[in-house]
Amino acid sequence: MRELTYLEAVREAMSQEMRENDDVFILGEDIGVYGGAFGVTRGMIEEFGPERVRNTPISESGIAGAAVGSALTGMRPILELQFSDFITIALDQIVNQAAKLRYMYGGKGKVPMVLRTPSGSGTGAAAQHSQSLEAWVAHIPGLKVVQPSTAYDVKGLLKAAIDDDNPVIFYEHKLLYKTKSEVPVESYSIPLGQADIKREGTDVTIVATAIMVHRALEAAEELEKDGISAEVIDPRTLVPLDEETIVKSVSKTGRAVVVHEAVKRGGYGGEIASMIAESEAFDYMDAPIRRLGGVAAPIPYNPELEKSAVPQVPDIIQAVKDTLNRA
């Protein structure tokens, strides 16, 4: 076992899949010689050539349309959108074509494509390049939605996404690209719909996604100093969602805090909270479910304002203490 960065794990997963399956190729803006907006595909064109590492025009709708079409004809495209905000330009191809064609064709056609895209704030990229819009696509039947938080998870989940016969929206948080964890050399797969207990605890369950997993773990370390034992659950995939692991944890702890970076209003945290409330875990709860999310405002450019727009470690700590009625 060796350590890889999150970015390196993404590249390794794609490279291994491309070596094993000639039907897998990648396409997107500046992904060839330049190596992509964040350098994820750097060096891949030298190994696989321009036919399988395809630079595209600056047209997210065109990129998504080409991916849908090639997937329908038997290929397994991986398209990269430089920023997740740009998914708005490709929504018709994603929502009205990719998500629905397998159903509309009675299973005779399938769309095995992966849309990879960097999401989230924290890089000073401002309002049009820092959003977290995963709840939008999670709302659409036919799409699978993945949000890995570690290098180990991103490699295994990306393999599973590429092997899946359905369209998968694969969110990679910008701030996670430089984080490291132990990653096996060999290819491996993590099933979509399998959550991970990142930390075990007994007093409260924190369900967190993407960058918030790391902040929740940091908060849990601080809470432990005050005698509070927090369990941290990383869903890893929003669709399908591993409800069983979350419900089992909340049934044990009796309290739940749900935290994500996206705007709280209409965010996916509301779906998780509702699922908990409608489950048998509700009978074991000792306090209302709390949600933490971003403020209802565009992400600011100013670094201090940007930081205040989304949950930070002290916010998670305070939410847990409020849930436990601790000062």
Neighbour count for residue 278 (Cβ, 10 Å):
11
Closest CA to 74 of 27, 101, 113: 113
The whole-angstrom separation of Cα 116 and Cα 318 is 34
Could you confirm whether 214 is annotated as catalytic?
no
- Nearest-angstrom CA–CA distance, 133 and 208: 16
Tell me how long the chain is: 327
CB 199 within 8 A of CB 250: no
Quote the Cα angle for 177-183-188, to 5°.
110
Token output for 199: 């930390």
Catalytic residue among 129, 173, 214, 260: 129
118 φψ region: left (φ > 0), alpha (ψ -120 to 50), beta (else):
beta
Active site residues: 129
